[in-house]
Every structure is written in structure tokens, then in C-alpha cells.
Amino acid sequence: AQSVTQLDSHVSVSEGTPVLLRCNYSSSYSPSLFWYVQHPNKGLQLLLKYTSAATLVKGINGFEAEFKKSETSFHLTKPSAHMSDAAEYFCVVRPLNAGNNRKLIWGLGTSLAVNP
């Protein structure tokens, strides 16, 4: 069975400090992996995605994530948090065996707070 676990429901950092949002997945097949961000009262925006190319993926707004197959992880990082990064972050998995089934498996989200 496929699943995705975001290990922290809430993360709080100070502005200018590093951000780490953790995500582990379970998949019988090589997956595609995504991080989406949702700012308060806004829609969902793709931050970055991994699709079996380079394991270190760079996204928008200075975020990046590293696919580690041995650890079944896809943690999201940013070297220096900005106040505007405060949002809800979702880790998403799509198993590549899914064929025409375009169903994504969504994590429960991590709420990132950035303190001045």
C-alpha cells in the first residue's frame, strides 16, 4: 500500500533560520513526489517535484528537497526562513505504477510558523 507521512504537524522557526519539513513515504514502486504550499486562505501551489531524475530537487522561493530512497524520505528544506514562508505544506506521492490512475496520495500537512 502507498502512503505518505509528514512527521510534524506544526513547525515553528525564527526568521533567517533553516527550515526542515519532514516527509516519509511508503510505495511499492518508484514514486513521483511533490511538495505543495498553501498560504492562508489561498489555493495550492506546487513548490517542487521529483520524477526520477536528479535526487536533489530545487523549487521556487529557495526551497529544495532531497529524495532518499534508502530512507524513503523526501524532506523539504530552506536555508533561511522568511516571514512569507508561513503556510501549510503538503507532501504528495504518486506511485509510478498507477497507470491511468492519476490519484495522488496527500500527507496531512505541516503548518510552518515563522517568528520575527
Partner 1 sequence: DTAVSQTPKYLVTQMGNDKSIKCEQNLGHDTMYWYKQDSKKFLKIMFSYNNKELIINETVPNRFSPKSPDKAHLNLHINSLELGDSAVYFCASSPGGGVDTQYFGPGTRLTVL
SS3 readout for the chain: CCEEEECCCEEEEECCCCEEECEEEECCCCEEEEEEEECCCCCEEEEEEECCCCCEEECHHHCEEEEECCCCEEEEEECCCCHHHCEEEEEEEEEHHHCCCCCCEECCCEEEEEEC
Q: Is 116 in the site for partner 1 (CB under 8 A)?
A: no
Binding mask 18-37 for partner 1 (x = CB under 8 A): --------------x-x-x-
* Min dist. Cβ of residue 80 to partner 1 (A): 25
Binding test (CB under 8 A) with partner 1, winner from 29, 42, 52, 69? 42
Exactly one of 26, 38, 72, 77 binds partner 1 (CB under 8 A); which one?
38
In the complex, what is the shortest distance from the CB of residue 106 to partner 1, in angstroms, rounded to a whole number?
5
Instruction: Give the binding site for partner 1 (CB under 8 A).
Output: 32, 34, 36, 38, 42-46, 49, 51, 88, 90, 94, 100-104, 106, 108-109, 111
